[in-house]
Amino acid sequence: MEPLVLGGRPRTTDLGIEVVDKFDGTRIATVAAADPALVREAIASAHGARDAMRALAPAQRADILERVAARLEEQREGIADTLVREAGKPIRFALAEVDRALDTFRIAAREAVRIEGGVVPLDGAPANAGYRATWKRVPVGVCGFIAPFNFPLNLVAHKVAPAIAAGCPFVLKPASVAPLGALRIADALAAEVGVRGGLPEGSFSVLPARGAAAEPIATDDRVAKLSFTGSDEVGWRLAGLAAKKRVTLELGGNAAVVVDETADLDDAVRRIVFGAYYQAGQSCISVQRIVAVEAILDELRDRLVAAVEGVVAGDPRAADTRVGPLIAEDEADRVLRSIDAARAAGAEVLVGGGRSGPVVEATLVEGVPHGQDLLDEEVFGPVAVLIGVPDYDAALAEVNRSRFGLQAGVFTRDVHRAHRAWDELEVGGVVVGDVPSWRADAMPYGGVKDSGLGREGPAFAIEEMTERRLLVVRDPGTT
């Protein structure tokens, strides 16, 4: 049984979670699992390390992050193979995720030495004469993290690396179906414990656990900050439990891309097909809705059908595979039920719609009526819905109709329309000339409406893991 990591040290338990290959169902590993008592022990350990973690100089935090990135880079191919197996991620995307995680740690290292403060100008009011005020940012304390299965390495990095940069100890629960990537990060961090200039004893824990066991992360008052990535249903429930905490929620999406009559259709189709089917659609910013103005709808449909028919689904180890398995067969069942319900309601499946075990074909559907899950909810599978609208105004309105608001893409060559999209779309980010699925690890990332609260990206996560502390100095003799 592979141990979990508690307080920076390996720990075995009587509980175990079996991790299986998502394509063929074979067992990969059994990992030690935490119960609520062990989660509370980890919180106590992190709480006890607050002062030591805060005392690390910014340059020391940066050095730790750089060394962790170097250790992970040495294992790049092995970690990528783990992601292929535990998450069903095609090898090309697994390698890309490892590289992005390395970037995330290195970006956080740069940001660790750029945590700034400021001066408060007080001389605007005569009553303030003789007083000076400055502020700095200090760590909030213990952070509690819950990470998802779809990016089991890089989304863990997006929580862990900023916490170290900010000087915050933490407890992290990875996805129980895909915990191995997080444990590889834990191994790299554990090498920093007990060495000069490294991480303090007790400062971090990585605890595979079933969902309910991790509830103390939300409820324990010793945790100052909760960051959750996952479903909107679970996220909002945890936010309700975390009454006194700072909370960041990166939840679901129903990402749309707009294509107007000025767009380069060759470019748009190539990028849309990537954005809709990478990760087998298991991404919060996967292209789910393709909103096209009527002037180019027929041509866009023809081009999309031809392109989607060429998307290879199957074994994630094969170099040409673009769509691997969903995380579990019951997820494939759920996606197929949504497709069948839309078809029964009058929609037309233009491409795909079938499955083999946990692998769902790349699917393109048109004519889905409002009220269908395939259109209104997050599919989290390799399915995109084509929607025709009269004009650009109607396209923006269709994007905003969703209860989600994570990111949107806009294919237009009209700069004024691009700025209108930025002004009017109710999302956390607008990507012009590309799909909403594009993300750079340095950028502020997060949503509005049911897509969540707060922002990730190392600099922005550090801001949410620190708080302003004011200093006011009165000059002697001031009356």
- List the catalytic residues: 250, 284
CA angle 92, 94, 100 (to 5 degrees): 105
End-to-end Cα distance, the chain: 69
* Half-sphere exposure (Cβ direction) of 133: Cα atoms closer than 13 Å: 10
Read off the amino acid at residue 140: V
Q: What are the residues whose beta carbons fall under 8 Å from the beta carbon of 264, sequence distance 6 or more?
A: 411, 413
CB under 8 Å to 141, separation ≥6 — which residues? 47, 50, 168, 169, 222, 223, 224, 225
* Residue 180 one-letter amino acid: L
What's phi and psi for 405, nearest 5 deg? -160, 70
- 93 and 279 Cβ atoms separated by less than 8 Å: yes
**3-class SS of residue 233:** helix
Work out the number of other CB atoms within 10 angstroms of the CB of residue 120.
13
Helices 180-190, 154-166: inter-axial angle, 10-degree rounding: 30
How many C-beta atoms lie closer than 10 Å to residue 378's C-beta? 23
What is the residue type of 222?
A: R
Structure tokens at 165: 């940069």
Strand extents, DSSP E, 167-288: 170-173, 204-206, 223-229, 246-250, 256-259
What CA–CA distance (Å, rounded) separates 48 from 53? 10
